[in-house]
Structure 1
């Protein structure tokens, strides 16, 4: 039988030592209880200083400034914070991931020398001021301006109207002293697109700097330990050196230059350097989801309800199939997303070329969307699975539900992110297939027909095995992978055919009419990537018993995903009605088979017990 430590070793993965050290540091902090908003904000800042003193921020910063040059490790350390207070996690992400990360990625040596040490040790609390009241996802059309004045060699940062106000900015309302402000860079009357400028927003006493207006966003649905605020700039002047100029610089006399040709390419290169934030959100959401599942499953193993006809003893609620159905497929998905996240973080750490970076950005967008939607759905399910007890703040699920709700829209709205994934799929498809002239289209249709025949022939063999009594047919890993691959290929090919109808005149309308198809293509792609990551994790597991248990969890992920989209599989002839029913029965059987291992599976996450102090499980 697999032991928890073996599972945990596999889950801890490449950064095992760092995960455990980060968990140990988190375990030294004590949760906050019953604080009002200002007390909560003060507590979060105090804990942030404790993290700084414990070395948490060093991981991802350059060794030249006392860091460890471990970009992947910085994401892992952030993920671990998701087991604790989520306001603390988010504020740490703002300070060291967004603010510090922007200075590191977009600035040059002079900026690093001047600011990184103070950012790392928290002497300089800062903000990441990108989102505006009128523009969130459409960063390219932000309206804040940074206009160069050659007479004084300064940039004039200005908010032209209320829609250009920087909004929802973490660290702005209370603690931040400087902001990385994203603005349209203007020299000699010409705009060069969005760039980042360092703007002091408070003086040493905490008072707003001249021309800077700071407002408090006030109470939110969750994350009230984070001091979100609004920033407005009234012709605020900063020196020419305040421009983070790795990808675009301005000479003393106002001449703009960039090592990257083309405003569009330059813009996406700059944003691409900040992909770590998106990957971190996916990881943080995963940690919060694991925490919710741990609470709900442990409660389900302790809570009893109703008696059997042949006994006076009440039944443990996790023995009910309906309860298993609520929690165990979600647990399997969390395992799958964990291994996909691990691959993504490794790719971030190792990426070395432009093609790798483009693939990384697309994968990060898709995984962030799927992981945060999974968090929202699963935490709600866990709350319901704990009944009225789950609604009490002391049992932590209500707070997790409130705090993670915004994850689906920050660091990129999920629907927009999936559109980016689909765009990448279509670009790859075009590169593979070409422009599809009549001969190319005929060849493509013939290839597609042959592919479907092959798939259906293979599917028929599985059906024959089912009919003959082979209960393992749906557990054939090759068949599962083919279903995911075939769905992705078919949906992307169908989308490409629909979009071929677009002309210069109707391109928007054609794309708009196909958005449901666009989102399905992206989701099918992410599901396939996640399954492949899970399969790879099982394959590299050295312990046979652990591998056998994970194999069952992987089966549950694969078949519950197919079951959730069985309408598509039925409509497109990939499943017969009888086979669709067999998938449902297989999911039921897997839930029953994994029920004895549920506690072992959640214990392997290694969540510090001090952050699981819910009375219903203690």
Structure 2
């Protein structure tokens, strides 16, 4: 199938400028520092050597102004939330242990103090946190309650006589698990615990709890264990923390959303315990956004390695007797180029997300804040799953060479594997996205009377007829059009994604409406549908972000190339979900075959630009220093 024209040659620096966008100057600065010798990969270092190297690198970062970017200017920060997130993300091009440890120190620990604490905490701690004078931990996850933070077991009981909170781990399941900075370097932990005062539980709150003294010994009542070697990220000192009636002053409570007076009286600007909990967690999404972006940068690095290798490695002879460069094989292009297109798409969606995070007002309406949290959750899931699958594909594309540690891909694979389950398990995050989307059905779920049920069912029948009519009209509108025209019609692509999302969302709402006396059973039986809602919603957001980025591109050659990369993302996503589109009458069988033909043709058309597209990531040279590229 013929595809629209692709420029003969595009300068990768033009694409770099488009990719770097709003924070281009900051990104250049981070790249320049990462290009120095001090920020090389861990290589064959042992666990303790790796941890020491990462701490040393962290101190070098602290010597710059970048760790202070996201903090309050009143305490030496710059108030640039977007710049702060971008600086963390850029570390994903190198040793991911450094990115994670930096994220724990300044994103999670420092972010919790700033966003959950008040002036007394800011004045006492923020400068020390920025300067790395005080290393800390973020102790939320428990051994027995990983994703279920609302029901964790650690308690912080207020003693009005002494004016102290007593922090306790009542059972083994309450042990804080996988806590970065805990095993070796952390001195203070932000501990999430159930606040109890006057015999009444007030839900989860955060407390500053010292875990080590100045000599590095565990504080009284605190038990610290090293999680030991992991599959990856061994430069991060993950540990376990448990507390045996550890006393901290009343002021240790990070009290922005809830406070306890000296006599034990509880007060909060948010009356509902549940709403307070979700508001508190909603302020901490920077870490989730940074993880998604870092996964995207690790994916770029893997693709750059695999595509460069694919241009060098030759295998099997062509009819003229010359060995064929493996990237010239369609099967090899299929492994890498759709993944590359999706990496570009996710990049632009991430840029929009960070901009929204940066620009949202502190007093923005709750609906706007919830939409941001939902988008952050969905993109983190999409980016980290994409990283896992793409890095594996890149490893396979490099054959045995890709399995050697010296060629970097095994380390990337190991380090990013946990990204799918930390900062929010991806399956849970997609359910959060679906829940947010279902809020527009709230009025139907509030009233379960027979009359309301009958009315809802009647509305659904009407909607089903209208929906089927709209689907038929949608198909008929393009039925007689040439496939080569339709498939590259941006409106058709966008409408197809939007239509799919609306249909799936209506369907899951209808299933959940039947909950009745067994809401858990109904939800559990519809969970696959719920997860599908989250996935297709994110795919629609990602395509729209890519389209906006292309439209904003001012260089005609760069724009023309990005148009085709956008086509490859859209059509490969449609191809991956052909079963749904066919089952629901959105495409015909012949058009389904045409989609595959179009993906093949796009891979061929973009093959000459593969190196340009990865060079545009501007990855520092030493992070692509794999021996397989020298042979």
TM superposition score normalised by structure 2: 0.95
**What is the alpha-carbon root mean square deviation over aligned residues?**
1.5
Q: Is the 8 A contact 2:471 2:585 kept in 1?
A: no
Give the stretch that moved more between structures: 423-432 or 328-337.
423-432
Mapped partners of 1:363, 1:434: distance in 2: 25
1:137 aligns with 2:147: yes
Q: What does residue 75 of structure 2 align with?
A: 65
Of 54, 57, 65, which residue of structure 2 is paired with 1:47?
57
1:333 aligns with 2:346: no
Q: What does residue 496 of structure 2 align with?
A: 483
Of 333, 336, 340, which residue of structure 2 is paired with 1:324?
333
Deviation at 1:430, TM superposition (A): 4.0
1:4 aligns with 2:4: no
Q: What does residue 109 of structure 1 align with?
A: 119
Deviation at 1:14, TM superposition (A): 1.1
Q: What does residue 3 of structure 2 align with?
A: none
Mapped partners of 1:459, 1:547: distance in 2: 29
Q: Is the 8 A contact 2:47 2:235 kept in 1?
A: yes
Give the stretch that moved more between structures: 27-36 or 327-336.
27-36
Q: Give a deviation string over 1:50-75, Cα, whole Å, max 9, x none.
A: 11112230111111222110011111
Q: Give a deviation string over 1:546-573, Cα, whole Å, max 9, x none.
A: 1111110010000100110111111111
Give the stretch that moved more between structures: 423-432 or 437-446.
437-446
Deviation at 1:616, TM superposition (A): 1.7
Deviation at 1:438, TM superposition (A): 4.3
Q: What does residue 610 of structure 1 align with?
A: 622
1:17 aligns with 2:29: no
1:416 aligns with 2:428: yes
Equivalent residue of 2:546, what SS? helix
Q: Is the 8 A contact 2:445 2:513 kept in 1?
A: no
1:546 aligns with 2:552: no
Equivalent residue of 2:316, what SS? strand
Q: Is the 8 A contact 2:180 2:238 kept in 1?
A: yes
Equivalent residue of 2:491, what SS? helix
Q: Is the 8 A contact 2:434 2:533 kept in 1?
A: yes
Mapped partners of 1:441, 1:433: distance in 2: 12
Q: What does residue 521 of structure 2 align with?
A: 509
1:192 aligns with 2:202: yes
Equivalent residue of 1:198, what SS? strand
Deviation at 1:459, TM superposition (A): 2.3
Of 245, 248, 251, which residue of structure 2 is paired with 1:235?
245
1:217 aligns with 2:227: yes
Q: Is the 8 A contact 2:335 2:393 kept in 1?
A: yes
Deviation at 1:439, TM superposition (A): 4.9
Q: What does residue 277 of structure 1 align with?
A: 287
Q: What does residue 486 of structure 2 align with?
A: 473
Residue 455 and residue 478 in structure 1: after superposition, are their counterparts in 2 closer, same or farther (change >3 A)? farther
Deviation at 1:443, TM superposition (A): 4.7
Q: Is the 8 A contact 1:44 1:87 kept in 2?
A: yes
TM superposition score normalised by structure 1: 0.97
**Mapping 1:325-364, distance limit 5 Å:** 325-352=334-361, 353=364, 354-364=366-376
Unaligned runs of 5+ in 2: 1-8
Residue 445 and residue 14 in structure 1: after superposition, are their counterparts in 2 closer, same or farther (change >3 A)? farther
Q: What does residue 301 of structure 2 align with?
A: 291
Deviation at 1:456, TM superposition (A): 2.8
Of 388, 401, 405, which residue of structure 1 is paired with 2:417?
405
Q: What does residue 81 of structure 1 align with?
A: 91
Equivalent pairs, count: 613
Give the stretch that moved more between structures: 484-493 or 1-10.
1-10
Q: Give a deviation string over 1:71-101, Cα, whole Å, max 9, x none.
A: 1111111110000100011000000000000
Deviation at 1:35, TM superposition (A): 1.1
Deviation at 1:242, TM superposition (A): 0.7
Q: Is the 8 A contact 1:214 1:231 kept in 2?
A: yes
Unaligned runs of 5+ in 1: none
Mapped partners of 1:425, 1:82: distance in 2: 31
Mapped partners of 1:597, 1:431: distance in 2: 51
Q: What does residue 255 of structure 1 align with?
A: 265
Mapped partners of 1:527, 1:295: distance in 2: 26
Mapped partners of 1:432, 1:483: distance in 2: 27
Mapped partners of 1:135, 1:285: distance in 2: 25
